[in-house]
Each structure stands twice: as structure tokens, then as C-alpha cells.
Amino acid sequence: MNSGMVVFLWLVTVFSLLAVLFLRRRRGDRFQAGNVLLHYRDEGWGEPVVLLHGLAVNSDLNWRLTGMLAYLRRHFRVITLDLRGHGLSDRPRDPAAYGQELAHDVCRLLDHLGLPRAHIVGYSLGGFIALKAAACHSDRLCSLILLAAGWERPDDQALFRGLDRCADDLCAGRGIRALAVERFQPGRFHRALLWCYTRLMTDRQALGALVRSLRRLTVSEGTLRELKVPVCVIAGEADYLRPAAERLRDRLPGVEFYLYPGAGHISLAWRRSMWQRVERFLLQHRCPL
């Protein structure tokens, strides 16, 4: 390993450790979702917006540290959820505890808060969970926004074999540098962050169980075309999940689709212009409660 790569990995590690300390300073509330306790925060006022974070991080890293949470809570009641297996939520190690349960947790959170409906915004893994929640519980959504996410075919066996390899690595106690699927090519910074997060911030057994369950989050093309809620999809031009975002655009009539030049899978979260576009979409699709 050359000296430049060593310095780079040290910087990523320091950033990750600071992020861990940042998380520990901010605790919200918990509620019971079956046999699992889930951690959430409820901030601001106005129409409710639920934010779902990406794989191997947590709500603070995905939304607070980037500044998007503070931006949205000026006009909305913003509810952030630490997905099961992440952050300050419980981390079961059985794959049966994940899959569709991740999508059902969105409705469980709304029930806990006494909310009949909400806008749902999901980033990366959170976007795939949000799409599944829309397919299973469309009556609970006012609108759906997917960031750095899209649609994967339920019959894509190469994808699921790659996810199983990632799950094997995690359950063996190793971190992962990227999804073990040849057609996914994350950037170097993303790979390094993912490796650090899966070694420093997660229960690798729990995360492995979650990754192994992801095939149960897929949505059929027929169900996709039946979605009635307003949908917005935003992806970075350099995002390795851009093809998934474009597949969703091509199969969902009326979807609003935006591609950010030069943005990657991680850097999109820091784009203020992206936050503004999300805010405009939410304001255009008011939520009668």
C-alpha cells in the first residue's frame, strides 16, 4: 500500500471516529417494533417527513452531519429513524428480523407517533426501504423521494449472489470495501468509508444478517407501476447506483427525475441544491392529515 493510500485511510478513520463521538452526544426516543427497540428523533413542526438513512451509517451521519436535517426542519416536522441493525436501534442477528420488517418499521413509527400519513425520504438503502414501504403501505405515504437509490429487478441473481458474499464477509468478522457485485463500481472514498464503518461502527453479524435479507425488499415491476403516490428520484451522475435510479425512472410514469452532474453516491448528500429540490417537491405535494 503506497503512502498516499495510507494517509487517505487514516483521514477516513479519523472522520469515522469523530462521527461515532458525534452520534453518542445525540440521543432521542425509542419505541417497540415487535421484539426490536428502534431509536428515532422528532424535530421541527409542520407536515411530517420521515428520513431513512443508508447502509452501515445512522440518521445523524446521513442527515444531521450533512446539514439536510436542519434545512428541512425549518418548514417540516422531521423524523429520523435509526434502521434496525444500525445506530442506537437494536441489532438482531437473525436475517428473519430484517427484509420486509425494515419497510414495516416505517408504519410502526407512524403508528407510534399517531400519524396517519407522512412524506418518506430514503437515501441509498433507505431509498430501497422507502420504495418497499410505498409498495406495501401506499395509503400511509403522502409522497416518496429516493436519493441515490432506485429499483433492482427481483430476478437479478447476480446481484443477490454478490450480496450474499458481502454478508459472508461481515459474518466472518471482516469489513467490506464495496458491494461484491461486478457492475457496481463505487469510488475510492466510498469504499474506504464503507470499510471503516463496517469495522468500527456496526455489529458485523447484525449487518450481515440485514444484507442477506435484502432480496426480500425487492418490488415487482407490476407493483411498481401501480404506485399512486408522487415520486421523486434524485441521483448523482457518478453514482454507482445511477442505473437503478434510471430503471425506476423508465418504469414509473410521472416520476420526477433529476441527475446531478459530478455528484457521487456520498457527495450528493452534501449538495444544498439537492436539499432545495427535495424541499420544493415536498411543498408541491402537500399532505392532508
pLDDT at 178: 53
Has residue 46 been placed in a domain?
Answer: yes
Has residue 197 been placed in a domain?
Answer: yes
Tell me the per-residue pLDDT of 131-180, one tens digit each, with 9 for 90 and over: 999 999 999 999 999 999 999 999 999 899 989 988 998 888 776 655 54
Nearest to 217 by CA among 150, 158, 264: 150
The CATH code of the domain that includes 258 is 3.40.50.1820
pLDDT at 39: 98
Q: Which amino acid is at 103?
A: A
| Rounded CA separation 215/99 (Å) | 7
Tell me the per-residue pLDDT of 71-104, one tens digit each, with 9 for 90 and over: 999 999 999 999 999 999 999 999 999 999 999 9
Has residue 289 been placed in a domain?
Answer: no
DSSP state of 199: H
Residues of the chain with pLDDT under 50: 1, 5-10, 12, 23-25, 180-182
Asked whether 100 and 92 are in contact (CB, 8 A), the reply is no
Number of domains in the chain: 1
- For 73-94, give the DSSP string: TTTEEEEEE--TTSTTS-----
| Rounded CA separation 24/68 (Å) | 19
Q: Domain limits at 218?
A: 3-284
Nearest to 278 by CA among 61, 97, 122: 122
